[in-house]
Amino acid sequence: MDRRTFLAGTGAVLLAAPLAAQAQQPAGRVYRLGILSPGGAPDRSIPTIPNLLPAALRASGYVEGRNLVVDRRFAEDNFDRLPGLARELVQLRPDVIVAVSGQAIQAAREATATTPIVMVISTDPVARGLVTSLSRPGGNVTGVMTVAENSLASKRLELLKEAVPKAARIAVLASGSLSSSSQLKEAQKAAMTLRVTLVPVEIRGTDYDRAFSTIVAERADAIFVLMGPTLVRDRHQIGERAVRHRLPAISGNPELVEVGGLMSYGGSTLDSSRRAAVYVDKILKGAKPSDMPVEQPSKFELLINLKTAKALGLTIPPSLLLRADQVIE
């Protein structure tokens, strides 16, 4: 099943909210929801938070165009635009803002101390200073964590080794300093067990040609792409070069698989959308963000791109395909 078929199926489920649920909302009340994302406006066929969240809210009776207005703002991968876009949303006086990624959450938090913010974040919001604690966030911010990236680093390395058994040297691609990367430290533990050598490669600015030249010169057999906003933003540059140099790549970002990556393993976007919708619903019904614990992830998805595997001359083990949540053919 490819991702477009998957979205059609899941979208149908989300959109099948009973009319009884819609009747639960106060008659005549129209709610306003703001969505702030650092990325570009996504194709409607791709399962992203901005695409899935309004559909998920239908299950609680909020129907866009009827009793729900949705204001969307996308930074188009230019993080410097986020503060201005956040202020635009606040001026529209939304009942709730849903912010995707740490940078978007920070921008929304700086733009308002009163409008409730539901965050969808893959890093520790306490460490980033966005909330006081997971159990008692305080302030106007709460929401859901999609995944603690360091905890999945070893699993991603295991999956990559299973898909490419001959891989002995694996490049670890990161932006910024690798010396303090918890994801790298977790992967290094797994590398010892798997008997593979990790080759750390840091991106300097956006010089991906230099980075891939280093990866090729180091004779890497595959690429482990760490999670981070810059690498998510630059997924097209990474995916294109990975295919060009015939290097299977794994990440926690499912959109990398759309543009040439071999695999991704991480939190379920559909599940995160549903969980975020629950928080929005509770806030619209009067709950205070400061009293709502931040929810941690419980569901993960494995994506495999068979088109990329074929282009690289790889045969994915049937046992691995059976465990995949989505397969792009």
Closest alpha carbon to 208 in 249, 149, 180: 249
| pLDDT tens-digit series, residues 210-261 | 999 999 999 999 999 987 767 877 889 999 999 999 999 999 888 889 899 9
Predicted pLDDT of residue 315: 95
Domain residue spans in the chain? 3-147+268-300, 149-251
| pLDDT tens-digit series, residues 74-91 | 998 788 999 999 999 999
Fold of 149-251: Rossmann fold (3.40.50)
> Would you list the DSSP string of 37-71?
ESSPPPPTTS--HHHHHHHHHGGGT--BTTTEEEE
> Would you list the DSSP string of 259-316?
TT-SEEEEE-HHHHHHHHHHHHHHHHTT--GGGSPPBPP--EEEEEEHHHHHHTT---
CATH code of the region 3-147+268-300: 3.40.50.2300
Residues of the chain with pLDDT under 50: 1-23, 179-180
